[in-house]
Structure 1
Amino acid sequence: MSGEGPDAVAARLTGRAVVARRRLTGAVTEVDLDGGPVVVKDAGSAAAARAEAAGLGWLAEAGAVRVPVVHGREGQWLVTGSVPEGRPDAAAALRFGRELAALHAAGADAFGAPPPGGPADAYIGAAPMSNVPGDNWPDWYARHRVLPYLRRAVDAGTLRSAEAAVIERVCERVDQWAGPAEPPARLHGDLWSGNVLWGADGHVWLIDPAAHGGHRETDLAMLQLFGCPHLARVLEGYEEAAPLAPGRRQRVGLHQLFPLLVHTVLFGRSYAEQALAAARRYASA
């Protein structure tokens, strides 16, 4: 079965006949089945497929933001529902902000808590991500979301040791800029614009989560970092539903260190420069 393609996997996991297929990316194929399309993803490993399936289920359980249904997984393959795409819309963005606030409010057992049934050794994109529970966000964030990727970047030669020291100084003082303590939120965890689908039904759908318990401002900072249509409306809807603590704008760069360092590990030096620029604003304060 390991040599089979996405159409065979889709047919077996759904029990429906294949009509056609379309490759969307190198790892993702939309398969038309008798009764409608599904999306088949080669997650790269069984652990990654398990983590993503558990994450989608955990997000869906909150009954807030829409996510594709999981039809099944097998080895590295994951089969989910297909989302007919529409166009970004201001009204949908406002609604999405409210729904994202409700998702975060569904909570998690701890910072770093994996979704029920999900592995502790998970992934964000193609990068490993450890879900190690903690009860103090500043310490947990530095230890398990910033420093692991900083070390990998230094080991790969993408960041120099002297540059890494700037980010390490920020990690030593995270609590100085963290803002008021908040309970663990239920995060999507990889909330860049490519994982935000504007559905033809007028709703926003989220795909490809790296779900875990974390600080709600991390999801929002990632939306801002990589661009999101109608972001001002998303934030407006969010603030209406669940106002953020004063000083959020000053904390954005702190929350962006995590995704910037992940991208440094995956994609190289240009993201290292962005991570350093964000860190220097805090290190010099």
Structure 2
Amino acid sequence: MRDRLAELLGAGVASVSDLGSSHSWTLHRASLADGREVFVKAASDQAGVFAAEAAGLRWLGEAGPGTPVPDVVAADDRMLVLPWLPSVSPSREAAERFGRELAALHTGNRPDAYGAPWDGFIADLPLDNTPDGRGWPRWYAERRLEPFLRLVARHLPSGDVRLVERVMADIEELAGPPEPPSRIHGDLWSGNVRWTDGRALLIDPAAHGGHRETDLAMMSLFGTPHLETVLAAYDEAEPLADGWRSRVPLHQLHPLLVHVALFGGSYRAPLADAARATLR
């Protein structure tokens, strides 16, 4: 692996340490001969996944100055290399900054359509990123909810399947006021927020043009440090539409379907609860 990394970077590699694995790839920290440290994802062949992640990070970075994403050092079909980001405890000040920077990411240099010009992945599951100039509700129902409901339907009680189908049927009435597309992270759970050097940076995106409430809902799904501080700073910088909190369960349906696909039955009850809350 050291030789492969050196070839990709065009630089000497002093050492590589293993950090475990995630999904279909292994994780590493490497020290380079020039003194830099980098984070490496490696796999025998994850060309689509690594290409999508690298494209997503670069695309999010095009939102404007101060976008909270790291640079991509290098990527190919077997490795993705990012700067090493030292981890620190999240502070209230960093959370406020994160809220403002996330709001700027979502509202700066907006894309022309929902979706993205590359094949998407969330973890190692494919995402249909086909760009679509229609409104967000139908795009979300057709590109996010319906494909994953098909994928997991055999693992769900028929009543739970019907709940999600009712959400898709009524999506226009449930989605709230129209919003233009935003550059969103797409998988913004707390593990993909790296607190480092007085700010938070976003890693492991499933980036695409989407609805900005989706990122906020994902942050709420599994908990994020200083979440209310982040949200308050966000709403002050770029006010959210009335009733956005009531729509959190709608935006959580897709990640919950993903978790049923990845991890099984333990996520059935939260999925059904989110669908019922959406319909209420």
TM-score range, shorter chain: over 0.9
Q: Does 1:209 align with 2:210?
A: no
Give the match for residue 103 of structure 1.
105
Spell out the pairing of 1:124-135 with structure 2 (5 A cutoff).
Answer: 124-134=122-132, 135=134
Q: Which deviations, in whole Å up to 9, do the C-alpha atoms of 1:66-122 show, x marking residues without a partner?
A: 3222121121311111111111111100110000001011221211134xxxx2x32
Is the counterpart of residue 171 in structure 1 residue 171 in structure 2?
A: no
Within 2, Cα distance between the matches of 1:153 and 1:55?
26
1:246 to 229, 242, 248: 242
**More moved, 13-22 vs 265-274:** 13-22
Partner of 1:16: 11
TM-score, normalised by the number of residues in structure 2: 0.93
Query: How far off is 1:25 after superposition?
Result: 2.6
**Residue 42 of structure 1, CA deviation:** 2.3
The 4+ residue runs of structure 1 with deviation greater than 3 A are none
Number of corresponding residues: 271
Taking the aligned partners of 1:158 and 1:126, their CA distance within structure 2 comes to: 19
Correspondence list, 1:104-119, <5 A? 104-106=106-108, 107-114=110-117, 119=118
Normalising by structure 1, we get a TM-score of 0.91
| Deviation of 1:12 (Å) | 1.5
Equivalent in the alignment of 1:42? 42
| TM superposition shift of 1:274 | 0.7
Give unmatched runs, 5+ long, in structure 2.
none
* Counterpart AA for 1:175: E
Unaligned stretches of 5+ in structure 1?
A: none
Distance 2:120 2:116 in 1: 11
Q: Is the 8 A contact 2:68 2:102 kept in 1?
A: no
1:64 shift after superposition = 3.4
Deviations 1:217-274 (A, max 9, x none): 0000000001100001100110111000010111000000011111111111111211
Q: Which amino acid aligns with 1:19?
A: A
Partners of 1:65 and 1:204 within 8 A in 2: no
The answer to whether the 8 Å contact 2:70/2:82 transfers is: yes
The answer on whether the counterparts of 1:68 and 1:82 sit within 8 Å (CA) in structure 2 is no
Aligned to 1:146: 145
1:260 maps to: 256
Q: Which amino acid aligns with 2:57?
A: L
Percent of counterpart pairs with the same letter? 50
Instruction: Find the residue that maps to 1:25 and give its secondary structure.
Output: strand
**Cα distance change of structure 1 residues 65 and 24 upon mapping to structure 2, 3 Å threshold:** farther
1:147 aligned counterpart, secondary structure: helix
Letter in 1 for 2:27: V
* Partner in structure 2 of residue 77 of structure 1: 79
Is residue 274 from structure 1 mapped to residue 270 from structure 2 by the alignment?
A: yes
Q: Structure 2 vs 1, CA of residues 84 and 282 (structure 1 numbering), >3 Å: closer, same or farther?
A: closer
Which residue identity lines up with residue 184 of structure 2 in the other structure?
Answer: L
For 2:13, give the aligned amino acid. V
Deviation at 1:30, TM superposition (A): 0.8
- Aligned counterparts of 2:91 and 2:195: Cα–Cα separation in 1: 8
What is the Cα-based RMSD across aligned positions, in Å? 1.3
